A and B are shown apart, each in its own frame.
Chain A
């Protein structure tokens, strides 16, 4: 049994044990042990991961076994430079969420069990190398989040929970059809039926599937739809603000911090290698989705009265950068700019995952202490909650892309790497930057500074169990902003490996004229 299986079993055991406990202290104890155990395992994996060991058919900590051999379903897990940071992200976020929920009093056993299940299913998505397993975990992430929103959520939780469930479920089932088609055509042409992700994706990329462009595009677009809804990309984003507004704080943190990254992860793992074979305009479509998200989010955020909804819209914009970076990197051919855009997009997933935790964590603290999230009802919170103010200012500044924070590294990489191939997209995306800065600063100003709103009464300072996780997240993104190497190196090795070997990215597939692709 390898480390990945142990990691998942630790979380599963924790979830079951936690369900059986009676008091908050017991459930919390189980959750802390289990989630920090998982964190320790993922850190161990990170430390022993050899960044240079990286091929497309071999994965670190790989395990494979049979499950349903008749139709080619196997137990196949492993990590590489794309997924290991995501596993690390999931375990960090969930472990710190367990601290953040220290005093949760409502049905604590179920609450902590769902938190651990959430962690488990997310890790499952990131480590699965078999489409059946991948899809099972992909679907399973819905359930803990559905219950977290539904049981601990706000006033419109019924609507939000069911909308979240149905909307993303429809996207998943359509994605399933794409997977079916990929599976069947690969099996029919080679006589070897399998759901193995690397095998199927490589077969698609190498163009050995004897099918028409129609079916190739069908496979691509259904899978893309599944990922784009999950990211979420404008115009498929409408479930996200509702889910965030009604979700409890840790629900929002995990949703924005890790769950959305499933879409981005799928983009790298599955779609990216396929882009050379599917119709070229899909690349522009993905870039367009990214651009629409980038442009739409600041304006939507500016109009929000609810602080949490504002942060939710900021997530949409930041996820848009990932789509843009991926699409641009595909067009870049052998140009080194590709590595920059590609690595930047990967790093954005990790970086946004950490930064957004601070933002939603601060929203949660404010709601918990002042009982409101409406920006106009707040004001001057620095006077009562100076520690919160420091964290919140740090978080919002990181989110708007301040240098020395990890968000800057990522977005700078994406924009500078993409400019080479998609200059018009990048220029349009850059329009959003002042507005992004604007809504962040304006929100901070109205919430923290100015005269104290006396209607709020006597607001207590942030509690230690709220402060600690937020501070750790802040420290992580500041360190990564100054010295991103610990995370970005392994991503870059993977990217460069792709680039040099030409094995996974469609180097020859797309015709790229010197000086970038026309007409963009």
Chain B
């Protein structure tokens, strides 16, 4: 008899999405749907936290081992749900009067389910299904402000590039299947382990390139990043939060599952390729972030830079000389950084939404996200500015916020692996990133205010406060709760 209770969190979300969608047809007071969504997300999050560290496999199940619930899927599930909660609360304010908000909530819930399925899948087909579920929902979300041409453009770009990346991914998967006769990741790894010669064939090279490109689009690696700044900038800010914090981490969940298992089994010289990818991604992201004048676009490029930091995990894993402890530490650090970045970036985009909302309410400006409009925000909107500054500190890796701890662990792994050059490039990039975050903080705190004080929205402030408090608590968390959780998850995925 198969026990499906481990799938309750996802089931709950699907039910909530269905309820929201159906109820939206009949209810006129649609704001209540937001609260239903929130309850669904929180209940799901509670279920995950209740039995974390559960390892349930469905070997004899109809899923044929395609789905697995382990600490890895749980940590990503918790990440997606936290992002979902933050976005849902912010949506209460942003779309509280929108007549189509039921669609927003149900698509957001389905996107979250898709992301969670990706994190759970041990089979490339299941992974692809989750990927598409999340992608199609987010395509629609990116164009949710359908009267705003920028939003439409963002959605279109995202859709076209997303479609391309999906097809590349399927192409890569088909090669893998053709070579190994299976779509199950564990089976694939064991086939590679048994036939070391297989890993060096041109076909596998092609398959790897296709998969890197396919996942790379989602994770916004350079040179597959072109869509990301436009989409993040054009999409509604709270959708950008979902994209940068949720959808992007889904790419990492998939890549961790597939590449780490595959790379550990193959142990071929892939590290140079990943090293170039990581270094180019973080450097290009940071340098382009410096020159941005739109805060939202700056956050988009910083998101690319952070993808580069997390890509360090693949370099360490692929490096043949790295000791097992370094591999585990890297994956642990990567998970922690994905976690801290998800919370920090989601909240930062929501802060941008809050600030744009306030600026549009008082000032006559074309682009509320332009950095000049942030002048004197410390006086005009003290709470929002303070919380936004702390979020930027977390993204920059300045203590006492969790962003520092995660970066610390991640960079520590590069030294453990003996990749000194990479370590130096990483920390210098991190130092460079402080520059553009500090620029925004400087504008907020010692720019001259351009108008009278704003009325701060309590909903937005509440979301930001939750995120900041979470980041501070995680930094001080005694007994390194998060680290252990991430480490268990890392063990689950690396198997060493």
A43 within 8 A of B: no
Residues of A contacting B479 with CB < 8 Å?
66, 68-69
B398 within 8 A of A: yes
A377 within 8 A of B: no
B478 within 8 A of A: yes
Residues of A contacting B446 with CB < 8 Å?
150-151, 157-158
User: In the assembly, what is the distance between CA of A173 and CA of B408, in Å?
Assistant: 10
Is there an interface contact between A161 and B442, defined as CB atoms closer than 8 Å?
Answer: yes
Is there an interface contact between A170 and B428, defined as CB atoms closer than 8 Å?
Answer: yes
Q: Which of B412, B415, B416, B427 contacts A173 (CB 8 A)?
A: B427
Q: Which of B409, B412, B439, B442 contacts A184 (CB 8 A)?
A: B412
A183 within 8 A of B: yes
Q: Which of B400, B423, B484 contacts A140 (CB 8 A)?
A: B400
Is there an interface contact between A71 and B430, defined as CB atoms closer than 8 Å?
Answer: no
Give chain B nearest CB distance to A142 CB in angstroms.
Answer: 8
Is there an interface contact between B445 and A150, defined as CB atoms closer than 8 Å?
Answer: yes
Is there an interface contact between B435 and A162, defined as CB atoms closer than 8 Å?
Answer: yes
User: In the assembly, what is the distance between CA of A208 and CA of B392, in Å?
Assistant: 41
Residues of B contacting A66 with CB < 8 Å?
478-479
Is there an interface contact between B398 and A143, defined as CB atoms closer than 8 Å?
Answer: yes
B415 to chain A: closest residue by CB: A180
User: In the assembly, what is the distance between CA of A345 and CA of B405, in Å?
Assistant: 35
User: In the assembly, what is the distance between CA of A176 and CA of B423, in Å?
Assistant: 10
Known: A139-B399, A173-B428, A177-B424. A165 touches B412 (CB 8 A): no
Is there an interface contact between B399 and A166, defined as CB atoms closer than 8 Å?
Answer: no
User: In the assembly, what is the distance between CA of A347 and CA of B435, in Å?
Assistant: 36
Is there an interface contact between B415 and A71, defined as CB atoms closer than 8 Å?
Answer: no
Give chain B nearest CB distance to A243 CB in angstroms.
Answer: 14
User: In the assembly, what is the distance between CA of A77 and CA of B325, in Å?
Assistant: 29
Residues of B contacting A68 with CB < 8 Å?
405, 479-480, 483
User: In the assembly, what is the distance between CA of A150 and CA of B323, in Å?
Assistant: 45
B160 within 8 A of A: no
User: In the assembly, what is the distance between CA of A174 and CA of B398, in Å?
Assistant: 15
Is there an interface contact between B424 and A184, defined as CB atoms closer than 8 Å?
Answer: no
Known: A70-B487, A161-B442. A170 touches B409 (CB 8 A): no
Contact with A along B406-430 (1 / 0, CB 8 A): 0011011001100010011001101
Give chain B nearest CB distance to A239 CB in angstroms.
Answer: 13
A146 within 8 A of B: yes
Q: Which of A147, A166, A181, A188 contacts B445 (CB 8 A)?
A: A147
Residues of B contacting A161 with CB < 8 Å?
442
A172 to chain B: closest residue by CB: B431
Give chain A nearest CB distance to B453 CB in angstroms.
Answer: 15
Known: A66-B478, A136-B399, A173-B427. A162 touches B404 (CB 8 A): no
Residues of B contacting A162 with CB < 8 Å?
435, 438-439, 442
The size class of the interface chain B forms with chain A is 35 or more
User: In the assembly, what is the distance between CA of A150 and CA of B325, in Å?
Assistant: 43
User: In the assembly, what is the distance between CA of A161 and CA of B438, in Å?
Assistant: 10
Known: A70-B487, A169-B434. A174 touches B427 (CB 8 A): yes
Residues of A contacting B416 with CB < 8 Å?
180, 184
Is there an interface contact between A158 and B442, defined as CB atoms closer than 8 Å?
Answer: yes
Give chain A nearest CB distance to B14 CB in angstroms.
Answer: 36
User: In the assembly, what is the distance between CA of A158 and CA of B411, in Å?
Assistant: 30
Give chain B nearest CB distance to A18 CB in angstroms.
Answer: 15
Residues of B contacting A166 with CB < 8 Å?
431-432, 434-435, 438
A464 within 8 A of B: no
Is there an interface contact between B478 and A67, defined as CB atoms closer than 8 Å?
Answer: yes
Residues of A contacting B329 with CB < 8 Å?
71
Residues of B contacting A169 with CB < 8 Å?
431, 434
A75 to chain B: closest residue by CB: B478
Is there an interface contact between A180 and B411, defined as CB atoms closer than 8 Å?
Answer: yes
Count chain A residues whose beta carbon lies closer than 8 angstroms to a beta carbon of B.
Answer: 35
Known: A66-B479, A151-B446. A184 touches B415 (CB 8 A): yes
Known: A143-B398, A162-B435, A169-B431. A177 touches B484 (CB 8 A): no
Residues of A contacting B431 with CB < 8 Å?
166, 169-170, 173
Give chain B nearest CB distance to A388 CB in angstroms.
Answer: 30
Residues of B contacting A70 with CB < 8 Å?
480, 483-484, 487
Is there an interface contact between A151 and B480, defined as CB atoms closer than 8 Å?
Answer: no
Give chain B nearest CB distance to A446 CB in angstroms.
Answer: 33
B439 to chain A: closest residue by CB: A162
Residues of B contacting A165 with CB < 8 Å?
434, 438
User: In the assembly, what is the distance between CA of A180 and CA of B479, in Å?
Assistant: 21
Known: A136-B400, A162-B439. A71 touches B409 (CB 8 A): yes
A177 to chain B: closest residue by CB: B423
Is there an interface contact between A67 and B480, defined as CB atoms closer than 8 Å?
Answer: yes
Residues of A contacting B408 with CB < 8 Å?
132, 176
A59 within 8 A of B: no
User: In the assembly, what is the distance between CA of A181 and CA of B326, in Å?
Assistant: 12
User: In the assembly, what is the distance between CA of A174 and CA of B399, in Å?
Assistant: 16
User: In the assembly, what is the distance between CA of A138 and CA of B404, in Å?
Assistant: 13
Give chain A nearest CB distance to B321 CB in angstroms.
Answer: 13
Residues of B contacting A173 with CB < 8 Å?
427-428, 430-431
Is there an interface contact between A218 and B434, defined as CB atoms closer than 8 Å?
Answer: no
User: In the assembly, what is the distance between CA of A140 and CA of B398, in Å?
Assistant: 8
Residues of B contacting A158 with CB < 8 Å?
442, 446
Is there an interface contact between B404 and A218, defined as CB atoms closer than 8 Å?
Answer: no
A165 to chain B: closest residue by CB: B438
User: In the assembly, what is the distance between CA of A136 and CA of B400, in Å?
Assistant: 7
Residues of B contacting A140 with CB < 8 Å?
398-400
Is there an interface contact between B424 and A174, defined as CB atoms closer than 8 Å?
Answer: yes
User: In the assembly, what is the distance between CA of A143 and CA of B441, in Å?
Assistant: 11
User: In the assembly, what is the distance between CA of A188 and CA of B430, in Å?
Assistant: 27
Q: Which of A73, A139, A151, A183 contacts B398 (CB 8 A)?
A: A139
User: In the assembly, what is the distance between CA of A169 and CA of B483, in Å?
Assistant: 25
Give chain B nearest CB distance to A163 CB in angstroms.
Answer: 10
* Contacts of A66-109 to chain B: CB distance below 8 A: 66-71, 73
Residues of B contacting A71 with CB < 8 Å?
329, 409, 412, 480, 483
Given contacts A70-B480, A71-B329, A71-B412, 10 further A-B contacts (CB under 8 A): A66-B479, A140-B399, A143-B393, A151-B446, A162-B442, A166-B435, A173-B430, A174-B427, A180-B411, A180-B416
9 A-B Cβ contacts within 8 A?
Answer: A151-B445, A162-B439, A166-B431, A169-B431, A173-B427, A173-B428, A173-B430, A188-B323, A188-B325
Which 7 residue pairs of A and B lie closest in terms of their CB atoms, listed nearest first?
Answer: A68-B480, A173-B427, A180-B415, A136-B399, A170-B431, A184-B416, A70-B480
